[in-house]
């Protein structure tokens, strides 16, 4: 075979369901879920291997009928009464690139901004299982990604202070001493920042800073063969022991276990900022 189209875009799984209990979607790749009727809540309960660029992990989002939910796993969809969902799991390089470009997870898209998405999802779901890696499926999967690329977020806009704090954390997590320093940089009191941040995102800024640092450690564990001391320095932890304690608490795995298990299926690159920091400190 000259060209393996399934390596670019492929349909891995379909769930066409009317759940009465929370539905958790797992597996690698991009999940695309259409809320055909009713309303559901979409949430990412567990931390997972984020693509380079570190999308903002949002608190649980309400998705009414006509909206699409785009996310990695583990994605939990909780119905609010009667609800119909069509969920497709897309894999391949195009799906991973699409996932890496999402600014927030789970990403809620308004259906009217990608009007052909519902029809393409229906065509994909109707494809027979006789040829799971057929060219027709790959063509439809790629067409769906192209249609979704123009979707607008349906998530409410964040307050400017929260947006600025979030950007500061993601840009400077390796050197930030904590929320006290962050509030000084933003020119507000610590209590005001914590109150605004928690109200908007559902977690305090200190907790968000920890999550960003752990996500950065994940990418370094998968992408580099550095010692834990080096990774701790690059990610803003005081040392390897502290990194191990926090990492285990956040992910349920030790760094070594994470590198062994997650590295089998995902090998993301570093963001430009992380590569520059790496060169400045250790290369």
Q: For strand 75-79 and strand 39-44, is the pairing parallel, antiparallel, or unpaired?
A: antiparallel
Q: What percent of the chain has pLDDT over 70?
A: 84
CA distance 114 to 50: 25
Task: Give this prediction's pTM.
Answer: 0.68
Task: Answer yes or no: is pLDDT of 156 > 90.
Answer: no
State the CATH class of domain 10-150.
mainly beta
Task: Answer yes or no: is pLDDT of 119 > 70.
Answer: yes
Contact 109, 31 (CB under 8 A): no
Contact 161, 28 (CB under 8 A): no
CA distance 77 to 63: 9
State residue 274's pLDDT score.
Answer: 53
Domain boundaries, the chain: 10-150, 160-281
The mean pLDDT of 69-88, rounded to a whole number, is 94
At 230-267, the pLDDT tens digits run 999 999 999 999 999 999 988 888 998 888 776 554 44
Task: Answer yes or no: is pLDDT of 120 > 90.
Answer: yes
At 7-51, the pLDDT tens digits run 889 999 999 999 999 999 998 899 999 999 999 999 986 555 444
CA distance 88 to 16: 9
Contact 2, 135 (CB under 8 A): no
State residue 267's pLDDT score.
Answer: 44
Topology of domain 160-281, per CATH? Arc Repressor Mutant, subunit A (1.10.10)
- Compute CA 105 distance to the chain's CA centroid, rounded to the nearest angstrom: 5
The mean pLDDT of 83-99, rounded to a whole number, is 93
């Amino acid at each position: 075979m000259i060209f393996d189209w399934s390596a670019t875009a492929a349909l891995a799984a379909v769930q066409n369901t009317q759940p009465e209990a929370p539905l958790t979607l797992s597996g690698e790749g991009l999940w695309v879920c259409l809320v055909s009727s009713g309303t559901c809540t979409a949430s990412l309960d567990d931390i997972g291997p984020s693509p380079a660029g570190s999308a903002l992990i949002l608190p649980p989002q309400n998705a009414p009928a006509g909206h699409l939910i785009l996310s990695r796993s583990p994605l939990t969809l909780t119905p609010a009464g009667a609800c119909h969902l069509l969920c497709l799991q897309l894999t391949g390089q195009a799906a991973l690139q699409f996932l890496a470009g999402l600014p927030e997870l789970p990403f809620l898209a308004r259906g009217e901004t990608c009007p052909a998405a519902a029809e393409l999802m229906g065509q994909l779901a109707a494809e027979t299982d006789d040829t799971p890696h057929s060219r027709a499926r790959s063509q439809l999967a790629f067409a769906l990604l192209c249609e979704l690329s123009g979707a607008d977020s349906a998530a409410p806009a964040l307050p400017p202070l929260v947006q600025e704090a979030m950007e500061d954390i993601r840009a400077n997590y390796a050197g930030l001493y904590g929320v006290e320093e962050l509030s000084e940089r933003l020119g507000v009191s610590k209590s005001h920042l914590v109150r605004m941040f928690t109200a908007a995102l559902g977690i305090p800024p200190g907790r968000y800073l920890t999550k960003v640092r752990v996500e950065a450690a994940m990418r370094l564990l998968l992408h580099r063969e550095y010692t834990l001391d080096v990774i701790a320095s690059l990610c803003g932890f005081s040392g390897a022991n502290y990194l191990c304690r926090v990492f285990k608490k956040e992910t349920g795995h030790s760094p070594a276990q994470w590198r062994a298990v997650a590295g089998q299926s995902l090998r993301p690159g570093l963001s430009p900022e992380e590569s520059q920091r790496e060169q400045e400190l250790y290369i």
